[in-house]
Amino acid sequence: MIDKPEAGKGGEARPLKVRLKKARKLSSSSQKWLQRQLNDPYVARAKREGWRSRAAFKLIEIDDKVKILKPGMRVVDLGAAPGGWSQVAAQRIGLENGRGRIVAIDLLEIDPIAGVDFAQMDFLKDDAPEALKAMLGGSADLVMSDMAANTTGHRPTDHLRIVGLVELAIDFARQVLAPNGAFIAKVFQGGTEGTLLTALKRDFTTVRHVKPQASRADSAELYVVATGFRG
């Protein structure tokens, strides 16, 4: 059950806050999630602007800052559902006008996006890289991964899973990227330290970390952005 939105005190232009009455059927974590969604300005903006996810704004911010997406680029989107990043990439590479290419995968199905070649697939399966390469039919200019493993609540396990996903994504990027290509991946604070960062610095001319404003401040999530693949 949802209370009527309340106006801010003093009449200043503060967004109205939606409050949930205790809904017995929802666990307290689900209630918290729902309340946060209802009050999240990025969720409302995504809906208004036709993006499938609030995550779309993260790629918009990253790309506005680092300027990676260019017309005609060939892009791989790992962990694409529900499709926000593919939408952003499609717009910026000119997919609607027949320019560029996007190959996307996720564990979950997505509603089709015009021009995007999507496969429901587990990236951790041994045959996933070859299947992706076959879909791509050539090299890529950008490999981007917003994949996030389900968390167990056991920090060391979660950390290892996240690092594992990023390592595999980097490995795949190395196999398909054209010289000067780029790599973007979701990592978590501490996720690209040590060997991961050393490997990226060896293979790319520039490696930086970006924390988009659309990435919740209380989340340890951030993105590693590597450009200038040495090939």
Q: Binding residue for ligand SAM (CB under 6 A) from 3, 96, 109, 122?
A: 122
101 near ligand SAM, rule: CB under 6 A: no
81 near ligand SAM, rule: CB under 6 A: yes
Instruction: Give the count of residues interacting with ligand SAM (CB under 6 A).
Output: 22
Burial 166-200 (b: 16+ CB within 10 A, else e): bebbbebbbebbeeebbbbbbbbeebbeeebbebb
Hey, how many other C-beta atoms are within 10 angstroms of the C-beta on 104? 26
Ligand-binding annotation for 33, yes or no, is no
- Which region among 74-82, 174-182, 195-203, 222-230 touches ligand SAM (by CB under 6 A)? 74-82
Q: Binding residue for ligand SAM (CB under 6 A) from 43, 148, 178, 199?
A: 148
CA 181, CA 142: separation in Å to the nearest integer?
Answer: 6
Active site residue 186: yes
Q: Which helix (H) or strand (E) holds 188?
A: strand 177-188
Which residue, 19 or 36, is less far from ligand SAM as judged by CB? 36
CA 220, CA 128: separation in Å to the nearest integer?
Answer: 28
Q: Which of residues 181-220 bind ligand SAM (CB under 6 A)?
A: none
Q: Binding residue for ligand SAM (CB under 6 A) from 63, 117, 141, 146?
A: 146
160 near ligand SAM, rule: CB under 6 A: no
CA 96 to chain centre: 21
- Decide: residue 66, CB within 10 A, 0-12 exposed, 13-18 middle, 19+ buried: middle
Q: Annotated binding site: which residue ranges?
A: 83, 85, 106, 122, 146
Q: Which residues are catalytic?
A: 186
